[in-house]
Amino acid sequence: MLPTESATQSRIAAYRLELRHMLKLAWPIVLAQLAHTSLGLTDSLMVGRINPESLASIGVAGSLFFVTFIVFGGIMMSVSALVAQSEGSGDKQTGLLALCQAMLIATAISIPLMILFQNGSFMLERVLRQESVVVQLGTDYLKAMSWGILPSLWLVALRSYFEAIARPWPLLFVTLLGFAANILCNLVFIFGYGPVPAMGLTGAGWASSTVYWLMFIAAACYLYTTLRHEKPFANLRKIDISMIAEILRIGLPIGVAFGFESGFFALTTFLMGQFGTDALAAHEVAIRTASFSFMIPLGLAAATTVRVGQAAGRGDYLAVRRSGITGIWLSVFVMCLSALAYITIPRTIIGFYIDLSDPENALLIKQAISFFALAAMFQIFDGLQVSSLGALRGLKDTRMPMIITAVAYWLLGFGSLYIFTYTLDMQGNGLWLGLVVALAAAGGLLCWRFLRLSKKT
């Protein structure tokens, strides 16, 4: 056998081994991500049975909550990179310190966020200029959701810790518990049961807040029970300035990068409102479904962060590149499958949200099918960008990705969105084409960034 053939076979064997390790770590994380996003999906499915106005309102108000949550949740996600590298070097206590300091940060930032959501009518009416029915329904929904922001951020920190120590099973069980509890709470609070009155969309907010508290308590109890001798929450009693600074150094660019992306997606929702309630409801159906399928590459990206971070902690830079490339290709492959589903069975998917036989929903269905076709176009790019971000987080490279996302979404994406939507008068389809351009730019640039950095190492 020639030396080049032997080297090629060795590389193939190494990638196969990495694929097995990646899948072993990733699939429970992916299931947990799917179960977690099912909380919001279940809300939309149940609220959609009330009326299109409620479905449109949860799309706008939910986007406002999600953008805020994802920005500050991104700070909590720095725990994953810090713990993964400390685990790779055999330093467990540094990881626990990072977890506790992140929880203290979450506690501090939750207070102004609760005040913001308690006064959500200002954002919906004055800033976003939504229709009166959307403002009224969305304001009550945000007030109920405000009580869930603190446990949801704490939960992100705990989830990042579990992922980084390669123990995703507790996260999966807790999230499945939350999914089941969310269905039960939605049935009670949205539609009413016994002494509890039907609260409609507001009930969905109270259900989500209740479930976030239940999930956090369950995850915290598990961590305390399994690591009791290491006193996992002991560092909550002190403030470590150097660790807080490190969390913010790594986490703020992550949060801002996520904010650029989620903010751009939210912008399409806010702008869609100007084209009518049917367009907004159709957009909610398509974007909520796309968000659900996105959870698979998001889970793979979390596993990629861990694998890359652990390899970097060991100083094994060949493994860094191998782990990153494996995670990227897996994500792209999965999103090709979801794109195929959006093209071939859009009506089946739409039927989960609304009554297809109701003639009043005809325009909504037509627009949703069009949006699904465009969503299929950006699926591959969406998988490419999130997996590349995950690989870069494993290297603690967060500042340049933040700049890349700013350029991709708010320069190239917004410019394209404006041209398609207003100059070419493509209305809702123009907004979605802007998403396609933004994700294509982000995916290409972020992947190039990782390949360049990993080649240097």
- DSSP per residue over 325-368, as a string? HHHHHHHHHHHHHHHHHHHH-HHHHHTTTS-TT-GGGHHHHHHH
Average pLDDT over residues 316-326: 90
Q: How far is CA 153 from CA 85, 167, 277, in A?
A: 22, 19, 32
**Whole-number pLDDT of residue 327:** 94
The three-class DSSP label of residue 196 is: strand
Q: Is the dihedral of CA 390, 395, 396, 398 positive or negative?
A: negative
How many domains does one find in the chain? 1
Average pLDDT over residues 286-303: 88
Mean pLDDT of the chain: 87
Residue with tokens 């598990």: 222
Per-residue model confidence as pLDDT tens digits over 118-134: 987 777 877 666 777 77
Q: 4 lies in a domain?
A: no
Residue 127: which of 245, 275, 263 has the closest Cα? 263
pLDDT at 112 over 60: yes
Could you tell me the residue range of the domain that residue 187 belongs to?
A: 9-456
How many percent of the chain have pLDDT more than 70?
96
**Whole-number pLDDT of residue 232:** 79
Q: 1 lies in a domain?
A: no
Identify whether the C-beta of residue 103 lies closer than 8 Å to the C-beta of residue 157.
yes
**Whole-number pLDDT of residue 390:** 92
Band of residue 145 on the pLDDT scale cut at 50, 70, 90:
very high
Per-residue model confidence as pLDDT tens digits over 267-292: 888 888 788 888 888 998 898 888 88
Q: 3 lies in a domain?
A: no
**Whole-number pLDDT of residue 2:** 43
Cβ contacts of 425 within 8 Å, gap of 6 or more: none
The number of beta carbons lying within 10 Å of the beta carbon of residue 356 is 14
d(CA 85, CA 83): 6
Q: 271 lies in a domain?
A: yes
Q: 313 lies in a domain?
A: yes
DSSP 275: G
pLDDT at 146 over 70: yes
DSSP 238: S
**Direct distance between the N- and C-terminal alpha carbons of the chain, in angstroms, rounded to an integer:** 30
Q: 50 lies in a domain?
A: yes
Residue 434: which of 213, 292, 248, 268 has the closest Cα? 268
The number of beta carbons lying within 10 Å of the beta carbon of residue 136 is 17
Q: Diameter of the chain by CA atoms? A: 78
Which amino acid belongs to residue 156?
A: V
Per-residue model confidence as pLDDT tens digits over 29-82: 888 878 777 777 778 778 877 777 777 777 778 778 888 888 898 899 888 888
**Whole-number pLDDT of residue 308:** 92
Q: 2 lies in a domain?
A: no
Could you tell me which residues are beta bridge partners of residue 193?
Answer: 196
Per-residue model confidence as pLDDT tens digits over 409-435: 999 999 999 999 999 999 999 999 999
337 by Cβ neighbours in 10 Å (0-12 / 13-18 / 19+) ranks as exposed
pLDDT at 150 over 70: yes
Q: 318 lies in a domain?
A: yes
Cβ contacts of 370 within 8 Å, gap of 6 or more: 428, 429
